Amino acid sequence: MSEADEQPDAGDRPRDDEPRRRPALVIVGVVVAALLVCCCSAAVGLLISWSAGLFHPGA
């Protein structure tokens, strides 16, 4: 066998100069989703507290 037979084709392996952006986008998406859930749940909690009268001054 020659060295050319032992080397894999260039199309079989990913190029090193191509950026890998998919994992970074997944992480950013998860962080944005978590912040959205936290902010929405906080807003719902404040709304429920307000409607229950917890922020109204005592009479």
- The per-residue pLDDT for 1 is 56
- The per-residue pLDDT for 57 is 81
- The per-residue pLDDT for 13 is 63
pLDDT tens digits, one per residue of 1-59? 565 566 556 566 666 666 666 889 999 999 999 999 999 999 999 999 999 999 888 75
How far apart CA 47 and CA 53 sit, in angstroms, is 10
Hey, how many other C-beta atoms are within 10 angstroms of the C-beta on 16? 5
